[in-house]
Amino acid sequence: MFPEERRNKIMTMLLENKRISVKALCEATQASEATIRRDLSYLEQHQKLERTHGGAVVLENISLTQEDSFSQKSLKLHEEKRRIAATAFHMLEENESLVLDAGTTTLELAKLIGDSNKHLVVVTNSTTVSQTIARNPNVELYAIGGRVRLNTLAAVGNMAMEALERFNVRKAFIGVNGVTIDNGLTTPDLEEARVKYQMMKIASEVTILADHSKFKKVALCEIAPIGRIDRIITDTQLKETIVSQYSQYDIEVICV
């Protein structure tokens, strides 16, 4: 068995079980432990796996809070979210009013607002967004109350819906989990979907923040049909053919 052949086999076996022991690899390849270890060392140096005492495990990107341990891909996706948020931020004019929902991309926007001096009126149902935006003393901040979903820290339910009704804002920035022409905008949780829809209703201009991975995906609950929105900000990896489809519905697609 050639060295490369053996390394391929190692990777195959590793990906099957997410883990693999040196012993199992010796059996499978009929090579000595020393050879296997050398292979594992090599593969680790080439960022193909992570060695551990007794074997190896697949590279995982755990830790949502620790950004340094993010894998290449999710780091990149994060970079894209930041660019999307930055574009949205630059669309904001002085003294404009906006509503922000809960989500990772909108949180990025919140960070930009929080670290700026822009005068804004912000409405949000997200505890996290509130706290972030509060760093900017020039913001007039309105928190939407209601039952709090603990995993997203967003207020939902009737109270949130009614509270939102009282506001009228210029722009809405909404994060979603799925975007398609046929199924429109979708998200996994029904109550959050309703809140997001309500946010759209109270805004004169609706902008969706969604990186390319959200397109052609359908989540469980519909927020609104695609015709309900005015603009999507996404990243440059979105195919031109998809962009043009949305243009037919009078939706401005901004790729950054």
Positions in the binding site for a second copy (CB under 8 A): 2-5, 8, 11-12, 15, 18-19, 21, 47-48, 50-66, 69, 125, 127-128, 130-132, 134-135, 137, 139-148, 150, 153, 155, 159-160, 163, 166
Binding flag, residue 213, DNA (CB under 7 A):
no
Binding flag, residue 114, DNA (CB under 7 A):
no
Binding flag, residue 37, DNA (CB under 7 A):
yes
The DSSP symbol for 5 reads H
Burial of 211-247, coded b for 16+ CB within 10 Å and e otherwise, reads bbebbeeebebbbbebeebbbbbbbeebeeebbebbe
Residue 206 interacts, among a second copy, DNA, none and using kind-specific CB cut-offs from 5 to 8 Å, with none
Binding flag, residue 31, DNA (CB under 7 A):
yes
The helix-helix angle for 190-201 and 157-165 (nearest 10°) equals: 0
Binding flag, residue 53, DNA (CB under 7 A):
yes
Binding flag, residue 104, DNA (CB under 7 A):
no
Residue 87: CB minimum distance to a second copy, A? 24
Nearer to a second copy, 5 or 252 (CB): 5
What backbone torsions phi and psi does residue 187 show, to the nearest 5 degrees? -155, 155
Residue 60: CB minimum distance to DNA, A? 17
The DSSP symbol for 212 reads G
Q: Which helix or strand (DSSP H or E) is residue 60 part of?
A: none
Handedness of CA 221, 225, 228, 230 (dihedral sign): positive
Q: Which of 8, 47, 52, 138 binds DNA (CB under 7 A)?
A: 52
Residue 131 contacts by C-beta under 8 Å, 6 or more apart in sequence? none
Binding flag, residue 237, DNA (CB under 7 A):
no
